[in-house]
Amino acid sequence: MYHSLYCEQQIAIPYSSLRLKKVIMSLARKFNWTVIDDKQFEEIVYEIVKAKNPIQIIWRSDTGGKGRDIQATFLIQDTFGEFVQEIYFIEAKHYQSGVSPTDIMPALSWAMAEKPSVFVIATSSHLTNPCRDFIDSWKKNNPNVRVNIWERKDIESFILSKTSTRKAAVSLGILPPSINDILPENPKQARDNPLYPAIAYRYLMTEDEISQIDDFKFFLEDVKQTISGNCDKYTPFEIDMGLYNWSVFLNYLQAQIGLQLSLMNYILALENNASIEELQMLSAKVKESAEKITDDNESKPRWLLID
């Protein structure tokens, strides 16, 4: 509902095709965990474990899991340089709400009986506080089994850290295909590079997402038309000036994010020994993005110099 000092009536503002909601969700996060089912979540967890190069990995989904959806064996070098095998039990929980103690009790019972080296709880949501307390108590009674917790933020970091897991996430619809346009083949190498901007990968925007800011600008125009048609007292000042300023701000925001993205792509290419042709193409993209940020309709930005 809309209400102002200059208009005494309340006016319902339409959310045309839920465009505003779509934009907000798009800008807030790139991962979409609602598009997959439980088995597909197990699949992405399987790909994460597989990317860690175990000497053996078994997806037990169709074999009566016995407290683990995935079992993996890793060859680990101990303190004295000897290689020993570590067995991992991984239990996957694809939940929208928090994981409770009752959700993991059966799996922990199997872990207590079979005593793997490591028991992993992998969830697309998070553990509730009672669940954390329960695990802490369980660990005191089972000190020989290490317990690792992979919550949503951890799963997302694992996915983005490897090309193979990113491709799997894209194929399942968890990530948009455009994610590959902004991430290097080896994200960890780029992340460790001191010349690379400090950016959290899970919050990067794609060009497609930047363009969706247009939906919000269209929404503002809908607001303007709706209010203008229902309230005529002082609307030229309040509506035309207020909403116009928001549109201008969004235009600048859109252009500046686009410039940051093009600069980041150029730096990535430069640091990864890209060809001259590719650098020239990315340099032209930087200049094109910079020209969209203008002051007072000038042809060049006053605050930015680009060779």
* Sheet with 83-93: strands ordered across: 56-59, 70-77, 83-93, 118-123, 146-150
Same domain, 213 and 235: yes
Residue 130 CB partners (closer than 8 Å, separation 6+):
100, 101
| Residue 306 in domain | no
- The distance of Cα 237 from the centroid of its chain, to the nearest Å, equals 40
Same domain, 284 and 205: yes
Q: Determine phi and psi for 98, rounding to 5 degrees.
A: -70, 155
Same domain, 244 and 285: yes
Same domain, 211 and 171: no
Q: pTM of the entire structure?
A: 0.55
| Residue ending a domain, choose from 125, 141, 175 | 175
Same domain, 209 and 263: yes
| Residue 142 in domain | yes
Structure tokens at 65: 């899991």
Number of domains in the chain: 2
Q: List the domain range (segments joined by +) for residue 132.
A: 33-175
| Residue 76 in domain | yes
Structure tokens at 165: 């897991």
Structure tokens at 104: 């993991």
Could you read off the pLDDT tens digit of each residue along the chain, which spans 307 residues?
444 433 444 444 444 434 434 433 333 357 889 999 999 999 999 999 999 999 999 998 765 667 789 999 999 988 888 899 999 999 999 999 999 999 999 999 999 999 999 999 999 999 999 999 999 999 999 999 999 999 998 898 888 778 889 889 999 999 887 666 555 555 555 555 554 444 444 345 666 667 777 777 777 777 777 766 666 555 555 556 566 667 777 777 888 888 877 877 777 677 666 778 878 888 888 888 888 776 545 444 434 433 3
| Residue 182 in domain | no
| Residue ending a domain, choose from 115, 140, 175 | 175
Same domain, 24 and 145: no
The β-bridge relationship of strands 83-93 and 118-123 is parallel
Question: What is the predicted pLDDT for the residue at 134?
Answer: 96
Same domain, 152 and 260: no
Cα–Cα distance measured from residue 244 to residue 239, given in angstroms and rounded to the nearest whole number: 8
Long-range contacts of 211-217 (CB under 8 A, 24+ apart): 212/22, 212/23, 212/26, 212/27, 213/23, 213/27, 213/250, 213/253, 213/254, 214/254, 215/19, 215/20, 215/22, 215/23, 216/19, 216/20, 216/23, 216/250, 217/247, 217/250, 217/251
| Residue 270 in domain | yes
Same domain, 45 and 167: yes
Structure tokens at 83: 């290689």
Best CA proximity match to 256, nearest among 218, 294, 216: 294
Same domain, 277 and 206: yes
Same domain, 84 and 169: yes
| Residue 138 in domain | yes
Work out the angle at residue 160's Cα, subtended by the Cα atoms of residues 154 and 165, and round it to the nearest 5 degrees: 100
| Residue ending a domain, choose from 148, 175, 202 | 175
| Residue 307 in domain | no
| Residue 197 in domain | yes
Same domain, 161 and 267: no
Same domain, 45 and 133: yes
Cα–Cα distance measured from residue 198 to residue 175, given in angstroms and rounded to the nearest whole number: 22
The answer to whether residues 184 and 268 touch, using CB atoms and an 8 Å cutoff, is: yes
Question: What is the predicted pLDDT for the residue at 288?
Answer: 85
Return the CATH number at 114: 3.40.1350.10
Question: What is the predicted pLDDT for the residue at 104?
Answer: 94
